[in-house]
Structure 1
């Protein structure tokens, strides 16, 4: 069982002080994510950047009485470089949201260029920062950031994360609805990637190992494609923003707790992983212990059912293609 960070813990005092930068802070994810980071008392400098309204969001959030300074930037006056300068943690929710009928992979062409350019700026202004990529498709955008950092000579695999926490939150919530339990007590490890069939919830490692097959299949499908519910419910006007902001804030808080030297901080996240590298899967999401240098330990998957093994096989096949897509993009568009 792992120690997860909830909103209730955000107000605990801490001696450690960190600068956190949010890139895309005025967007649907960026605004609530910035708000939640303002409530985290480990954050003493909150730096918000967006192409427009960055300063406005920063001014708004700055009125909240927590012990941190908030500054907002736009592209003028070298704002991106200033926003990133000496950041300890960089959160990247920037990009366009999904529309009806779109998969995360459909977002690739637009978001790939955005993420590439932001990664370049991070490499130049905060090369030692922990970078948390939220922009979809994560399976491809994380490799894009890795390739950019490599080209700049500052790639540290221990400090690059794809934020898959929303899959974890959904799994806990959806399982609790099926089982009639408290979602706060349902800890579900989700591995693989962050898009459709690459999302593999390890239900067999919870207290609900014997769900009826029909119930189990429906639960897994809902966890894998839960984002579609939000897109459809918003009638194409948006995708998951509030739940994604909470997921991003939880993961960022865990990264900060790790940097501060707290023990047993474990979260599933999409990272440069040895688990299936021999099969050509350079990045894979699994439980990771976070520490003062970022990734402290990457955990194995544990005992799996035949159904989970089959899902992971399918996920790996898709991940190889997703990862290659990101790598190839940077080669063709340096």
Structure 2
């Protein structure tokens, strides 16, 4: 009994220490009035780690902020109308900045089709962040992530403030989808499904490593159909919404999960691992400077980039196709900034 009582006391002390050591943070959402921005902002309002929520958009942010501010949690919410001064104020002091801003996909539109419009939006918002708050953890949601993350890196380099440890492409949705789709196939609880997804965040660049999941026995037509659904799950949503939008609610959840994981790591929690698209050494020898894999997060952002581990021949073929496309996507982002530098 003494041993049990002592263990209980130790756990209570650890919880008390964790509560006393916990910090609270400002988070900024750029594109807060959009289809992803609104539910993302609502989820952030519910987080006990968020003290201040800054919402910015080209229109509608003050209204969204007023609405969300009525949610009965302690964080303060402020909306900012569009102007350079307001954007700088929204960014000032934020620990995490999320950029879901951009136009959504429509039926038949690939993520690459979004490029010309969203590239300019992300470039300008990244430039504002580089000037107002260059040390913030910057999380890019705006598609195509395979190109928009390199755009941000190039913008930061031009401002002389680039830190690869603080720039993230949010690919968490691919893991969220994979665990759910596997659970549907196997009639299990998706919360218990563990699956690694690497590569990028569009089509064939999304590589689920089913051999490392709870069900490495999935094979044949079932495997092919599952991989295809994970890679093109976004199309499923676009078609179902009949042109009215793309994956917004599930993407908001993914963005929230990434932001909260960064705050947990900043707070000193160890062992926080998320899949994310970052500057990575894994395929640099093939000209691919950015790659999504499991990344351990720390107080300063990226702590450790995990390797891919053992994979089978089928997954090696998937990776080969991924790397070819990913290299082109990354080069497209870099060339965009070369041709269209920030003002």
* Count of aligned pairs: 323
Q: Aligned pair 1:104/2:111, yes or no? A: yes
Match of 1:162 among 154, 163, 169: 169
CA distance in 1 between counterparts of 2:84 and 2:110 reads 36
Q: Which residue of the partner structure matches residue 266 of structure 2?
A: 259
User: For residue 329 of structure 1, what is the aligned residue in structure 2?
Assistant: 336
- Do the aligned residues in 1 keep the contact of 2:195 with 2:214 (CA within 8 Å)? no
CA distance in 2, matches of 1:22, 1:207: 35
* Aligned pair partner of 1:114 in 115, 121, 134: 121
Distance 1:42 1:211, change over 3 A: same
SS of the aligned residue for 1:231 comes to: helix
- Does residue 40 (structure 1) correspond to residue 42 (structure 2)? The answer is no
Distance across 1 between alignment mates of 2:219 and 2:326? 29
Distance in 1, matches of 2:305 and 2:252, equals 25
Distance in 1 between residues matched to 2:219 and 2:138, nearest whole Å: 40
Give the structure 1 partner of residue 74 of structure 2: 67
**1:37-62 alpha-carbon deviations (Å, 9 max, x no partner):** 01111110100000111001111111
Task: After TM superposition, give the deviation of residue 15 of structure 1 in Å.
Answer: 2.2
Q: What residue in structure 1 maps to residue 291 of structure 2?
A: 284
1:68 deviates by 1.0
Residue 127 (structure 1) aligns with: 134
Per-residue deviation at 1:77? 6.9
Q: Separation in 1 of the partners of 2:141 and 2:219?
A: 34
Q: What does residue 8 of structure 1 align with?
A: none
Aligned to 1:310: 317
Alignment of 1:199-214 (within 5 A): 199-214=206-221
Deviation for aligned residue 1:76? 3.6
Of residues 81, 89, 100 in structure 1, which corresponds to 2:96?
A: 89
Give SS of 2:310's match: coil
Q: What is the TM-score when the length of structure 2 is the normalising length?
A: 0.93
Flag structure 1 segments of 5+ consecutive residues without an equivalent. 1-11
Q: Following superposition of structure 1 onto structure 2, how do residues 182-197 of structure 1 map, counting pairs within 5 Å?
A: 182-197=189-204
**Structure 1 residue 36 displacement after superposition:** 0.3
Specify the alignment match of 1:173 in structure 2: 180
**Unmatched 5+ stretches in structure 2:** 1-17
Work out whether residues 194 and 214 of structure 2, in 8 Å CA contact, stay in contact via their aligned partners in 1. Answer: no
How far apart in 2 are the matches of 1:113 and 1:93? Answer: 13
Taking the aligned partners of 1:167 and 1:264, their CA distance within structure 2 comes to 21
Larger radius of gyration: 2
